[in-house]
Amino acid sequence: MASKLSPAQDGPDLATRLAATRGLSAALAAPLSDADATIQSMPDASPAKWHLAHTTWFWETFLLRDHLPGYRRFDERWPFLFNSYYEAEGARIARASRGLLSRPTLAEILDWRAHVDAAIAPLLDDPSLAGLIELGLAHEQQHQELLLTDIKHALFQNPLGPAYSSDAKAPSVESPADDGWWDHPGGIAEVGHGGRGFAFDNEGPRHRVLVQPFALSQRLVTNREWDAFIADDGYRQPRLWLADGWAWVRAEGVAAPLYWRDDAHFTLAGWQVREAEAPVSHISYYEADAFATWAGARLPTEFEWETIAQGHDPAGGNQLDAPGPVAPRGAPGLFGDCWQFTRSAYLPYPRFQPAEGAVGEYNGKFMAGQFVLRGASCATPRGHSRASYRNFFYPHQRWQFIGLRLAKDA
């Protein structure tokens, strides 16, 4: 099983949380037309409708098909459409073709969701399935975030610049007073998930690491600072860049974060004036690394980040009503504004073992070529953040809400 779950759960019961999570997915699609929910702007991103369907396929396959005797699929032809990458679950359409599925319609997908939700109900009391259901909830929450980042990217392609929603969340403005550093003396630290509550398999096993003395900035880099980097020819000085990053800058003609244009940037609420003190977002690893070099600092390792964040872990509470910034516990920006690239490659922890079966394809098979991001963003659903969480992307990718927190040697 691809999760680490202790038997006892605090907070709302499973049925309540399942209803809330499933309802939130549908609510996220509410501002979208069938056509909006169908388009796909690049192979990395998926249509909103596809996210609604894929998460439902996940429940139907791994919970209903495998554990509900007599369950028959809503439509036998749909797994081919909505399996993402599970080789053990058979063939599927090419990722780049997800945007060609005008059928089934959004309404049909919502019908399917209701059908599956109803079928799940009798299984919620089976304690042997609790871990699988927790995995399904976490999986659906991940796709809630992707639904938002993907529709943002799709709407950005439209020269009309349509808004997803006028009151959509964005990274919040940092207080200038936050300009300090957390100092850490180094030593043996424990990292990885080891306590109660759900975690993905890639967050464990919990283990000890040796950390060198370091300092971690108490805030994210801001748009104002990024403007200074640009003004200082940051995108034109090869000495600041990793070799692959410099090749990327030149091949793609990169000269600013994604979504920037003049003094504005594209948001889920449409084109908006950029706020100077808001955290910069939608940057690649290459850009983050070049900025850090320019600033005389560096990116933190994932364990430096986690060691600090363990004192501010939001995972105790599970707020369910909407995605958006988690109530901070004294550390604004660690969770809920932007994901933060670390200089750690996404690799297995000691003694990591992927789960048996198809759900074992969840995390482990992506452990090459990507970097770990820590924290959470304004698009991360409440209840989905924790100090041990490991997100991962390729160094050129930047359509997620990705920002930057500096570190330095102490």
Chain residues in the site for a second copy (CB under 8 A): 33-39, 41, 77, 80-81, 85, 87-88, 93, 97, 99-106, 154-155, 157-160, 162, 188, 207-210, 212, 238-239, 241-246, 285-286, 289, 343-345, 347-348, 350-351, 361, 365-369, 371, 395, 409
Of the pair 72, 208, the CB lying nearest a second copy is at 208
3-state secondary structure 160-218: CCCCCCCCCCCCCCCCHHHCCEEEECCEEEEECCCCCCCEEHHHCCCEEEEECCEEEEC
H helices within 322-384, ranges in order?
none
Of the pair 155, 256, the CB lying nearest a second copy is at 155
Of the pair 329, 396, the CB lying nearest a second copy is at 396
Whole-number minimum distance, CB 349 to a second copy, in Å?
10
Of the pair 319, 397, the CB lying nearest a second copy is at 397
Half-sphere exposure of 109 (CA within 13 A, CB side): 29
Query: Look-up: residue for tokens 């709302």?
Result: 12
336: left (phi over 0), alpha (psi -120 to 50) or beta: left
DSSP character string of 111-146? HHHHHHHHHHGGGTT-GGGHHHHHHHHHHHHHHHHH
Of the pair 72, 365, the CB lying nearest a second copy is at 365
Of the pair 3, 38, the CB lying nearest a second copy is at 38
Whole-number minimum distance, CB 13 to a second copy, in Å?
35
Of the pair 115, 408, the CB lying nearest a second copy is at 408
Whole-number minimum distance, CB 18 to a second copy, in Å?
28
Whole-number minimum distance, CB 407 to a second copy, in Å?
11
Contact at 8 Å (CB) between 41 and 16? no
Of the pair 181, 366, the CB lying nearest a second copy is at 366
Q: What is the C-alpha separation between 370 and 364, in angstroms, rounded?
A: 12
Of the pair 20, 215, the CB lying nearest a second copy is at 215
Whole-number minimum distance, CB 153 to a second copy, in Å?
10
Going 94 to 96 to 97 to 102, the CA torsion angle's sign is positive
- Residue 361, C-beta contacts closer than 8 angstroms, at least 6 positions apart: 85, 86, 87, 88, 354
Whole-number minimum distance, CB 365 to a second copy, in Å?
4
DSSP 8-state symbol, 325: P
DSSP character string of 89-106? G-----GGGGGG---S-H
Contact at 8 Å (CB) between 37 and 99? no
Rounded to 5°, angle at Cα 219 from 213 and 222: 130
Whole-number minimum distance, CB 361 to a second copy, in Å?
8
Query: Look-up: residue for tokens 């936050």?
Result: 178
Whole-number minimum distance, CB 280 to a second copy, in Å?
20
Of the pair 127, 159, the CB lying nearest a second copy is at 159
Q: What is the C-alpha separation between 249 and 17, in angstroms, rounded?
A: 44
Of the pair 89, 134, the CB lying nearest a second copy is at 89
Whole-number minimum distance, CB 48 to a second copy, in Å?
10
* SS3 state at 282: coil
Whole-number minimum distance, CB 121 to a second copy, in Å?
29
Q: What is the C-alpha separation between 356 and 2, in angstroms, rounded?
A: 8
Following CA atoms 256, 262, 263, 268 in sequence, which dihedral angle do they give, to the nearest 10 degrees?
-70
Whole-number minimum distance, CB 132 to a second copy, in Å?
19
Contact at 8 Å (CB) between 162 and 152? no
